[in-house]
Chain A
Amino acid sequence: MTDISAAGLEFSHLSKRYGEVVALDDMTFDLRHGEVFGFVGGNGAGKTTTMRIALGVLLADSGEVRWRGSPVTFENRRRIGYMPEERGLYPKMRVAEQLVYLARLHGLSVEAARERTAVWTERLGVAARMNDEIQALSLGNQQRVQLASALVHDPAVLILDEPFSGLDPTAVEVMSEVLHEQADTGVPVLFSSHQLDLVERISDRVGIVRAGIMVASGTVDELRGTGHEQLVVDVPDADPAWSRTVPGTSLLREENGRVLLELDEGLDDQVVLRAALAAGPVREFARRRPPLTELFRHVVSVADDDETSAGQPAAGKVDA
């Protein structure tokens, strides 16, 4: 296996505009061998544009995508397994025919294409639907076929656009299992989502993007570290107002004497403990690790906000 920490696919200073609309602005990050990288952002943030540039479907105005240090070429691009958002399949073509066709376009022989089709339809639980037209399948099954189409040519890199949207919990499990299996063989996996909680759960590293810019990237722990420290302090008998006497803290929540405090940079938590003890007996004193959804709520709009995000600069024609 290759060195896990080595850069596999590097996205280097990508910029792309559509007329006045800036789709990507100096987008830079890398995808390491054997990791699952979650790419998060609202609609129109630039996730799909980044992926399309990696696949050569779109040309960047500036910047480049490199594989193991050298620019991605038309020939080695074929080794990327790609799943576009929604479908990416011919509705009136049969499952097996479609997978064999795509495998052959990626350079496999007919025999190899058939063999891989059999393997992946079996693994993803759609083997019974081999001779059905795609349009006759449920949405979840269509998505499984789509994943199979990205995997059928044994890709060296996987790039998946919103693979989890619209999946039921079992399918989500199967999908994330397969992604990790692939990563374990050294394949870097990039997937996009607007569900930060899901990304946090299954990614090794996360990149958060807004308006074409990578706002933050790193492991989940690293990202949490970028936020201010939070403390949960339970002083049941005291007036909750005790916390206000401690300079450098702000009260986030209060419930039955239990407070959630955010500490300013560099403030010693022992100062807070002493203030709490002075107010009354302390039942609980703990550091809190806020989930990413809380830290980046302002960056990532949840699905419900999609409609209202239409006015964002990059929304509309650019199509994420």
Chain B
Amino acid sequence: MNPTSAMSSRQAVWLVAERELRTRLRSKAYRITTLALMLLVIAFAVVMQLVSSLDSEKKVGYTDSAAAVMRDVSAIATGRGEPVDAQRVRSESAGRTLVSAGKLDVLVLGTHGSRMDVVVDEKLDDTLRSTLTAAAGQSALTRQITGLGGDPTQVAAAVSGASVEVDALSPSPSFDPQRLAVGSVAGILIYLALVTTGQTVAQGVVEEKSTRVVEVLLATIRPWQLMAGKVLGIGLVGLLQVAAVGVTGVVAGQITGALSLSLSTSISVVAWLVVWFVLGFTMYSLVFAGLGALVSRQEDVGGVTAIPTMLLVVGYVVGISILPTAPSNPVVAGLSLVPLFSPTLMPMRLAMGEVPVWQTLAALLLAVATVPFLVSLSGRIYRNGVVRTGTRLSLREAVRNG
């Protein structure tokens, strides 16, 4: 029995990975999920854009007698970053009709001394109130300065030049609401990707066991080669999905204008997402592959993978429920350094910004250091469990035997 050309480990692992790639990429479920996720992030970008545009432009009507004060209103509103849509109305009664029909948020009638008369439907919006109050004050001031023989333009310039110089002793990091949203999306995406690919690995292991394909395979390649090939193949398929959805999100955000993030920030969000997917997938897929080898039926996969799935869920839920309101929560920050939690929490924190460099490095190092440990433990469990059919093998038995 002379060996037909002996296969190197690299060839064996790649042969297994290639089969996974080919069969998984062809699967309808995978294509549909990927497409659905891509559509979802596009929809998210479009909705964000619509919401922000609806929000900003308040419609302010004015009569001819209020034209002068309206110039101040527009200037102040623009200066505050909340521009208004100024609309001249033919008459006061026409304006009132528009207000009650909801076509105008407010109608400015004019100023009498330091008083400004406005008409609203129910109540005056807080932002508009402060803008209008400032404008009323401005016009009163202008009148006073003119009355005293001064130059209102000069005074305005002096006033706008005045500012407060702040020297904070312990500055709190500022978080851009946009980045918080992006971080949440990144969290959802990586959580979904890890859960689905992890389950796919466990199910793939059990499929080979229950059909006894594994016996044929193990007569030709070693258990670790089979496990590595499977993890690599499914990992690449998952990576492709994460990258496709991430890039789609960035492109959609940039095109619709929903993302005011710079291109480099967006790219770094996606890059971190990919890095943490690779690390998270490596850790979790090893665990899922080892545990999958303990059972022989697809129905038992859920039970045996419950604990690692819980860890994923905990990381995700903690992140998504705490981080958007408290991005620098110290408990979450600490948890985000712990290996099996870091893959869900770190990409969210990194997308939200302001993660100290040492924390980023610590999380990376700890995760990378965990991998060899998981390789040896899961490899052992897999090797012992994968050819045992019938009843479920206990974890202790699988670790001890061998």
Contact = CB atoms under 8 A, between A and B. Distances in A.
A156 interface: yes
Interface string A83-119: 0111111111100010001101111110000000000
A80 interface: yes
Interface string B13-50: 00100010011000000000000000000000000000
A96 B221 CA distance: 21
A87 to B, nearest CB: 5
A76 B7 contact: no
A108 B11 CA distance: 12
A57 B220 contact: no
A107 B6 contact: yes
Given A67-B1, A90-B207, A78 B219 contact: yes
B219 A56 contact: yes
A17 interface: no
Contacts of A97: 22
B380 to A, nearest CB: 14
Contacts of A228: none
B387 A101 contact: no
Given A56-B219, A104-B15, A87 B211 contact: yes
Given A90-B207, A93-B23, A101-B15, A55 B215 contact: yes
Contacts of A80: 1, 219
A108 B212 contact: no
Given A52-B387, A68-B1, A93-B23, A88 B216 contact: yes
Interface in B211-226: 211-222
Contacts of A224: none
Contact of B211 (A75, A91, A102, A107): A91
A246 interface: no
Nearest to A155: B1
B2 interface: yes
- Sorting the interface of chain B by its residue count into under 10, 10 to 19, 20 to 34 or 35 or more gives 20 to 34
Contacts of B212: 84-88
B12 interface: yes
Given A89-B211, A101-B15, A84 B220 contact: no
Interface string A297-320: 000000000000000000011110
Nearest to B296: A319
Nearest to B27: A92
Contact of A90 (B1, B2, B4, B213): B213
Contacts of B4: 78-79, 106-108, 153
A6 interface: no
A77 interface: yes
A76 B211 contact: no
B390 interface: yes
Given A79-B1, A105-B12, A57 B215 contact: yes
A108 B19 CA distance: 16
A82 B387 contact: no
A76 B6 contact: no
Contact of B220 (A78, A85, A89): A78
Query: Which interface class (under 10, 10 to 19, 20 to 34, 35 or more) fits A?
Result: 35 or more
B213 A56 contact: no
A143 to B, nearest CB: 13
B215 A107 contact: no
Contact of B216 (A86, A108, A149): A149
B5 interface: yes
A186 to B, nearest CB: 12
Contacts of B12: 105
Contacts of A89: 211, 213
B219 A55 contact: yes
Given A78-B4, A80-B219, A107-B3, A88 B213 contact: yes
A158 to B, nearest CB: 12
Nearest to B7: A107
Contacts of A316: 390-391
B389 interface: yes
B216 A102 contact: yes
Interface string B154-181: 0000000000000000000000000000
A52 B215 contact: yes
Nearest to B388: A317
Interface in B87-143: none
B220 A319 contact: no
B339 to A, nearest CB: 33
Interface string A213-237: 0000000000000000000000000
Contacts of A102: 216, 220
A107 B3 CA distance: 8
A87 B388 CA distance: 16
Contacts of A87: 211-213
A284 to B, nearest CB: 51
A89 B214 CA distance: 9
B304 to A, nearest CB: 17
Contacts of B389: 319
A106 B220 contact: yes
B194 to A, nearest CB: 24
Interface string B296-330: 00000000000000000000000000000000000
A263 interface: no
Given A86-B212, A87-B213, A105-B220, A78 B15 contact: no
Given A78-B219, A156-B1, A157-B1, 13 more contacts: A52-B387, A55-B218, A56-B218, A57-B218, A74-B222, A76-B3, A78-B4, A80-B1, A87-B212, A88-B211, A90-B213, A107-B3, A319-B390
Interface of B: 1-7, 12, 15, 19, 22-23, 207-208, 211-222, 387-391
Q: Which 3 A-B pairs have the closest CB atoms?
A: A107-B4, A76-B1, A84-B212
10 contacts: A52-B215, A56-B218, A76-B2, A80-B219, A85-B212, A93-B19, A97-B22, A109-B5, A317-B391, A319-B390
